[in-house]
Amino acid sequence: MSKPSINFSPARRSGHRIFQRPSPEKQFPSSPPHLNRRSSLDMSVRRLRKFHMKTTLQACFLTALLAVVLPTHAAEPAQGLADYRAELNTCRQEHGGSSEIPDVKFFLFGMGARTKLLYRDGILLDAKTGRELYRWKVRSEVIVPSDYLVSIETEEGAAVALREDSEAVWLEQGGQRAALEGTKSLVKLPDFGGRKFPRVLRVLHQEMLVNIVEAGPVPNYFVYEKPWYRDGAMVALALKETGNLDLLKPWILGLREPFDRNNKGETEADNLGQALLLISLVSDKNHPLVAKVLAEVPRFEKTDATGKYILGRSDFSDHPVYQTKWLKYGLRALDLPDVYVIPKVADSYSALFWMDYRDQHVAGQDSDDRGAYPYLGWACDHFHETKKCPLSNRDYPLTWEERASEARYDGLQIISPAFVKMRLSPPHTWHAAEAFLLLLAERAPVPQ
């Protein structure tokens, strides 16, 4: 399977000469012969004048350069937000537009193994416990999702910034900068230079990383306590591209069950291949779960004129094509024997598996929901190479899930009752992963 590569090198400004100082010969012509003999005092005066001129020119140049490349504190976040919005709107226009979610301004901090933090309405909270950490009287605020930044001007005129980077979550105020407790751990945060929508990719990447908790990668940590193999496998494929699989390694190495049993306890057949794929990303066929998975496969086996495949339930329905594709993908990832064939039947989940076997698909009615379960639509877009799927109509979050049977929406009360009422959980990692992996393949046009 061919995967796009990412340039992790930070963007470099192109070099160009701004100021060229004339050579000494051109700046100071030779003295006439009758002035060549002068006293040491004359020489000292002239050297002082030359030094004064040189330092004055350097000071003027430095002042002008700083004025060009260092925008004011107020202008920098505003411009960053404007640039992000412009790119986001272009992305929406080229793909499936936008879908309305409640107008609730908030931002989540705490990517990877860091403490989970929630900012809203001038308050920074521990997102898991609800404990208030900081409170400001806000005159104005600018949230720049693509820069992982909340910039605040208080009623007293003080500047405050909450900013997350590859090292930690930082609080900048009163001329000081400090890492917030529990947030100092490394995360790789590419800028996605060379991609068509780098700022949007940074936000989608964040919406996955922020939902990695101690239990593993959950769809949304406010409404789900446990990882799902299906969602987790797609997140893992995305984080493999950004060099962040180490963040999932403890969870994957600790897996011991062939099924996550998250859908009302059902043993969903697609979990078998997903478990194998996950193990292949950080371990090998000697992982203790591999033998358990292989022992479960026979009870799902079916045979027809085309050969042997598996058939079970996923999301409460039979999806033999989808399930067999996942199994074959997982077996191959671990270099295990594969005797299975993809059945030649219509399966509404077939197009959700776009990573391989695209030529083995019987056209039918796709499960391409773009409303409540938009990750289905994004996956189908990736398979069919279409552009019909939306992102949210807000700056942040860009992803969501709605009316899921196993989600506990009361957990969103800490952000807004509006989400609880709508039974809508933004952000959502499967949605983020599908959108991310599709947009990652779109390269920026080469300047002519």
Model pLDDT for residues 394-424, shown as the tens digit of each residue: 999 999 999 999 999 999 999 999 999 999 9
For residue 110, CA distances in Å to 4, 198, 201 come to: 27, 21, 17
Q: Provide the pLDDT for residue 15.
A: 32
Model pLDDT for residues 91-104, shown as the tens digit of each residue: 999 999 999 999 99
Q: Is the pLDDT of residue 265 over 90?
A: yes
For residue 10, the SS3 value is: coil
Distance CA 127, CA 132 (A): 9
Give the domain ranges of the chain. Answer: 75-179, 198-440
Q: Is the pLDDT of residue 3 over 90?
A: no
Model pLDDT for residues 270-319, shown as the tens digit of each residue: 999 999 999 999 999 999 999 999 999 999 999 999 999 999 999 999 99
Residue 21: burial class (beta carbons within 10 Å; 0-12, 13-18, 19+): exposed
pLDDT-wise least confident of 73-77, 91-95, 387-391? 73-77
Q: Find the mean pLDDT for residues 324-347.
A: 98
Q: How much of the chain, in percent, has pLDDT values that exceed 70?
A: 83
The residue type at 54: K
| pLDDT-derived band at 228, boundaries 50, 70, 90 | very high
Q: Provide the pLDDT for residue 446.
A: 81
Q: Provide the pLDDT for residue 448.
A: 72
| pLDDT-derived band at 447, boundaries 50, 70, 90 | confident
> DSSP secondary-structure letter at 160?
E
Which residues, 6 or more positions from 115, have their beta carbon under 8 angstroms from its beta carbon?
126, 169, 180, 181, 182, 183
Q: Is the pLDDT of residue 392 over 50?
A: yes
394 φ, ψ (degrees, to nearest 5): -110, 165
Q: Is the pLDDT of residue 144 over 80?
A: yes
41-66 burial, b if ≥16 CB within 10 A, otherwise e?
A: eeeeeeeeeeeeeeeeeeeeeeeeee
For the chain, the straight-line distance linking the first and the last C-alpha, in angstroms and rounded, comes to 31
Q: Find the mean pLDDT for residues 339-351.
A: 97
Secondary structure in 3-state letters for the chain: CCCCCCCCCCCCCCCCCCCCCCCHHHHCCCCCHHHCCCCHHHHHHHHHHHHHHHHHHHHHHHHHHHHHHCCCCCHHHHHHHHHHHHHHHHHHHHCCCEECCCCCCCEEECCCCCCCEEEECCEEEECCCCCEEEECCEEEEEEEHHHCEEEEEECCCCEEEEEECCCCEEEEECCEEEECCCCCCCCCCCCCCCECCHHHHHHHHHHHHCCEECCEECCCCCCCCCCCHHHHHHHHHHHHHCCCHHHCHHHHHCCCCCCCCCCCCCCCCHHHHHHHHHHHHHCCCCCHHHHHHHHHHHHHEEEECCEEEECCEECCEECHHHHHHHHHHHHHHCCCCCCECCCCCECCCHHHCCCCCCCCCECCCCCCCCCCCHHHHHHHHHHHCCCCCCEECCCCCCCCEECCCCCCHHHHHHCCHHHHHHCEECCCHHHHHHHHHHHHCCECCCCC
Q: Find the mean pLDDT for residues 55-67.
A: 41
pLDDT-wise least confident of 75-84, 162-171, 231-240? 75-84
CB 164 within 8 A of CB 170: yes
Q: Provide the pLDDT for residue 47.
A: 52
Whole-number average pLDDT of the chain:
88
Q: Is the pLDDT of residue 80 over 80?
A: yes
